[in-house]
Amino acid sequence: MGALLMLLSAAQRPGPEPAVLQYPKNWPAPRYDFSRNPLTREGIELGRRLFYDPVLSRDSTLSCAGCHLSFTAFAHVDHALSHGIQDRIGTRNAPALANLAWAQAFMWDGAIQHLDFQALAPISSPTEMDHSIQKIVEKLNASPRYPALFEAAFGTRKATGERVLKAMAQFELTLISAGSKYDRMMAGTDTFSRQEQNGYAIFQKNCASCHAEPFFTNFSFEKNGLPLDTMLRDYGRMRITQNPADSLRFKVPTLRNIEFSYPYMHDGRFRKLRDVVNHYAQTTALDRPLELSANEKTDLVAFLLTLTDRAFLFNPDFSFPKE
């Protein structure tokens, strides 16, 4: 009878605490299927620790945060091409991270179709972490502190590839940026300056078909008129689809927190927002280059700065976990 009571009490013991994603009411439902990976406070916390732990790299020197810094929009500030362990330089600019629960594909060429699997790419890339999920799981299972974290999150002390990836996805799913001046404006709790309002009108007319609100991306792969970098020879989406029509198509990045995610474009070739706007005004490779006066360009940039979300950038829940 005592054993039965013990079983009952074990069944009633609280498991991980469910967590709910908070986002604006007028946003669509997330694309991520939470039924396969229910968010929990402990799962998110485990994912956060993994995100910030250099154990994920072969020589245990580099964490995800090495290239995705919270206070610079989870991008790699000042690095056109991100570097991995031992100063190895990659071929692309680390993208800003935000609102990943709505994303449809990951990486500049959409090579990864599901957030769970995204981390495998930088983990395995020789120019990034140069490691393997097998080795990472071994290291975590031998670690003095991770088994307890896995037990709290998944009810078992054993780390597996599935649990590592799901925990990291849980943390990444919480990276929601919806607190910019633009968002307050949409909610009716703030107002644009005349310059910002003018910039918003220019944006809606010229940019919003690809950088669609509220995520500031239509999640598709588009040609942006940039000439091929003859050293990198990166043809973007074509590498994945093997379809020549996809040559030089890259994923449309979000513009949220763009003030902090410089340098810009898939290879980081532009250091200033103004350079990006000038590219779209000058390119002859697109059907419809922007026709903007110098003042209009300034107004457009003023609007883009309203996408900065300081509550997101400095959210203590997103920063390095303290013991």
Partner 1 sequence: MKHLVLCLKYAGLILLCFPAESQNIISLNLGPFYKSEKIALGESLSTPDSLTLHQLRFYLGHFTFYQNNAAILEDKNYHLFDLEEASTLNLTFNLPQNATFDSLAFNLGVDSLTTASGAMGGDLDPTQGMFWTWQSGYINVKMEGFSKKCPARNGEFQFHLGGYLPPYAANQRVELKTGGNSENLLLTLDLAPFFEQVNWVDKHNVMSPGAEAVRLSGILAKSFAIHAQ
Determine if 232 is a binding residue for partner 1 (CB under 8 A): no
The dihedrals phi and psi of 206, each to the nearest 5 degrees, come to -110, -25
Q: Which amino acid is at 115?
A: L
Cα 93 from Cα 76, distance rounded (Å): 7
Determine if 21 is a binding residue for partner 1 (CB under 8 A): no
Determine if 266 is a binding residue for partner 1 (CB under 8 A): no
- What is the signed CA dihedral for 20, 23, 29, 35, rounded to 10 degrees? -20
Local structure of 131: helix, strand or coil: coil
The dihedrals phi and psi of 18, each to the nearest 5 degrees, come to -60, 145
Question: Which of 111, 185, 286, 292 is close enough to bind partner 1 by CB under 8 A?
Answer: 111
- Give me the 237-256 binding string for partner 1, x by CB under 8 A, dash otherwise: ---xxx--------------
> Judged by CB, which is closer to partner 1: 107, or 212?
107
Q: Residues in contact with partner 1, total (CB under 8 A)?
A: 30
Determine if 134 is a binding residue for partner 1 (CB under 8 A): yes
What DSSP character marks residue 40? B
Determine if 29 is a binding residue for partner 1 (CB under 8 A): no
Choose among 134, 94, 111: nearest CA to 242: 111
Binding span for partner 1 by CB under 8 A among 8-16, 117-125, 218-226, 273-281: 117-125
> Judged by CB, which is closer to partner 1: 238, or 292?
238
- What is the signed CA dihedral for 108, 114, 118, 124, rounded to 10 degrees? -100
Question: Which of 140, 165, 207, 290 is close enough to bind partner 1 by CB under 8 A?
Answer: 165
Determine if 120 is a binding residue for partner 1 (CB under 8 A): yes
Cβ atoms of 207 and 216 closer than 8 Å: no
- Helices 273-282 and 294-304 cross at an angle (nearest 10°) of 130
- For the beta carbon of residue 265, count every other beta carbon within 10 angstroms: 18
Rounded to a whole number of angstroms, the minimum distance from the CB of residue 98 to partner 1 is 20
**Contact residues for 219 (Cβ-Cβ < 8 A; gap 6+):** 102, 103, 104, 105, 251, 252
DSSP 166-193: HHHHHHHHT-----SHHHHHHTTS----
> Judged by CB, which is closer to partner 1: 22, or 242?
242
Determine if 133 is a binding residue for partner 1 (CB under 8 A): yes
Determine if 166 is a binding residue for partner 1 (CB under 8 A): yes
> Judged by CB, which is closer to partner 1: 94, or 169?
169
> Judged by CB, which is closer to partner 1: 240, or 290?
240
Question: Which of 58, 163, 251, 266 is close enough to bind partner 1 by CB under 8 A?
Answer: 163
Determine if 173 is a binding residue for partner 1 (CB under 8 A): no
Cα 32 from Cα 299, distance rounded (Å): 35
Question: Which of 91, 160, 278, 315 is close enough to bind partner 1 by CB under 8 A?
Answer: 160
Determine if 55 is a binding residue for partner 1 (CB under 8 A): no
Determine if 121 is a binding residue for partner 1 (CB under 8 A): yes
What tokens were used for 320?
């390095």
Rounded to a whole number of angstroms, the minimum distance from the CB of residue 36 to partner 1 is 5
Question: Which of 124, 193, 204, 209 is close enough to bind partner 1 by CB under 8 A?
Answer: 124
Cβ atoms of 52 and 64 closer than 8 Å: yes
Which parts of this chain interact with partner 1 (CB under 8 A)? 1, 4, 33, 36-37, 111-117, 120-121, 123-125, 133-134, 137, 160-163, 165-166, 169, 240-242
